[in-house]
Structure 1
Amino acid sequence: MKFQFSLKYFLISIFIFLIEVLIATKLKDVFFVRAYLGDVIVVMLLYTLIKSFFSVNNEKLILGILIFSCLLEFAQYFNIAEKLGFRKGSLMYIIIGNSFSWIDILCYGVGCLLVYLFVKLKPNF
């Protein structure tokens, strides 16, 4: 892994982040979008954010993001946000999450698969 800033990935990250904010604030009543699409997109955000600052192997990065996402989801099972002292509703409480779901893990897997397929179809991405 080597530090290398990429404006392209950084701009894509900002765009995806704005979509996530839109989902969380304006589309929170649209169940499918809030419950599933946000989790699919968040792994894409992690991918582009890391690629914004580092030159790294795509497959290893995607696998690492999937593992990280699953570990974070499993940490939610043990109420890690509360154990770390974050108050309900605080930014870190929301980021870490507060409820375990197998569906979320499936969504992370779908998001990573989509990133992988996109990378394979567009090798310079």
Structure 2
Amino acid sequence: MSLKFNLKYVILTILLFLTEVLIATVLKDIFFVRAYLGDVIVVILLYTFVKSFIAVNNEKLILAIFIFSCMIEIAQYFNIAEKLGFQRGSLMYVVIGNSFSWIDITCYAIGCLLLYVIIKLNSLNRK
């Protein structure tokens, strides 16, 4: 693992972040998109953000992101946002979340699996 700026991943991070904002604001009434697609995309967003600045093993990073996402989801079970004093509707309250869901964990797993497949296919194409 080493520090390394990667413009390609910075651009992907910005595009994915804008997609998440679009989902949260404009597409929020489309149930499938808001409830599932946003959670699949968020792990990919985390991946591209880390890869923007750090050269790290892809598989280890994907696993770390999945574990991190599960930890956040478990923290939601214990209402961590409220216990930390964040007000309902505040940015941090929304970022941390407020309700535990096995479906969210499934979406995180799907996003991580999708990342893994894309990386493997990309490495096969380079050979």
TM-score with structure 1 setting the length: 0.98
RMSD: 0.7
Quote the Cα distance in structure 1 between the aligned partners of 2:89 and 2:57. Answer: 36
The Cα of 1:30 is off from its aligned counterpart by 0.1
Q: Which residue of 2 is the match for residue 81 of structure 1?
A: 81
Quote the Cα distance in structure 2 between the aligned partners of 1:46 and 1:77. Answer: 21
**How many matched pairs?**
124
Quote the Cα distance in structure 1 between the aligned partners of 2:113 and 2:19. Answer: 19
Residues 84-120 of structure 1: CA deviation (Å, up to 9, x unaligned): 1111111000000000000000000000000000000
The Cα of 1:29 is off from its aligned counterpart by 0.3
- Structure 1 gaps, min length 5: none
Q: Which residue of 2 is the match for residue 65 of structure 1?
A: 65
The Cα of 1:76 is off from its aligned counterpart by 0.1
Q: Which residue of 2 is the match for residue 4 of structure 1?
A: 4
Q: Which amino acid aligns with 2:92?
A: M
Q: Which amino acid aligns with 2:28?
A: K
User: Helix, strand or coil: the match of 2:86?
Assistant: coil
Q: Which residue of 1 is the match for residue 19 of structure 2?
A: 19
Q: Which residue of 2 is the match for residue 39 of structure 1?
A: 39
Over the matched positions of the two proteins, sequence identity in percent amounts to: 70
